């Protein structure tokens, strides 16, 4: 599968912002033309799409490998169709959660994120929140 999207966040994300991000994901992701099986609520954003691992982010998380420090997550997509859903979800989460969340992916940040960035920007989200840097995170 190879190609992967990564994120880093604290163990607890703010409730109001996470809820707003989840609601946006619930409204927008099903309209992307990619079949997903999803659950969106105030405490979790989780979905499956063909060819990808499950994307799952909960408002409160525990890293089984580290009892302190940031929580790291990832979703392998292999650039399958569901990769667009993962990237749009991360951009929406980044918009609402601000500096609580950083994210990146394998590959080229401009080319690989262009479609997701265009979708989110066209929906009226601030442009500066949807830029992704190459090797180490995002400005979202």
Tens digits of residue pLDDT in 47-84: 999 899 999 999 999 877 777 778 999 999 999 999 99
Burial class (CB in 10 A: 0-12, 13-18, 19+), 41: middle
Max Cα-Cα span within the chain: 39
Distance separating alpha carbons of residues 124 and 102, to the nearest angstrom: 21
Residues of the chain predicted below pLDDT 50:
130-131, 133-140
3-state secondary structure (DSSP) of residue 95: helix
pLDDT of res. 17: 97
Give CA angle at 120 (96, 18), nearest 5°: 20
By the 8 A CB rule, do 11 and 97 touch? no
CA distance 88 to 84: 6
Residue carrying the six token digits 């880093």: 8
What is the pLDDT at residue 64?
76
pTM across the whole model? 0.89
Distance of CA 22 to the CA centre of its chain: 11
Chain centroid to Cα 64, Å, comes to: 20
pLDDT of residue 80: 95
- Three-point CA angle 37, 40, 43, nearest 5°: 135
């Amino acid at each position: 599968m190879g190609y992967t999207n990564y994120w880093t966040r604290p163990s607890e994300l703010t409730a109001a912002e996470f809820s707003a991000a989840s609601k946006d994901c619930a409204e927008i992701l099903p309209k992307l033309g990619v079949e997903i099986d999803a659950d969106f609520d105030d405490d979790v954003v989780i979905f499956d799409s063909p060819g990808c691992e499950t994307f799952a982010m909960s408002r409160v998380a525990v890293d089984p490998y580290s009892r302190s420090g940031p929580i790291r997550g990832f979703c392998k997509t292999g650039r399958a169709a569901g990769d667009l859903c993962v990237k749009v979800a991360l951009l929406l989460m980044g918009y609402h959660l601000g500096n609580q969340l950083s994210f990146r992916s394998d590959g080229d940040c401009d080319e690989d994120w262009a479609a997701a960035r265009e979708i989110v920007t066209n929906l009226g989200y601030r442009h500066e929140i949807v830029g992704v840097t190459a090797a180490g995170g995002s400005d979202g």
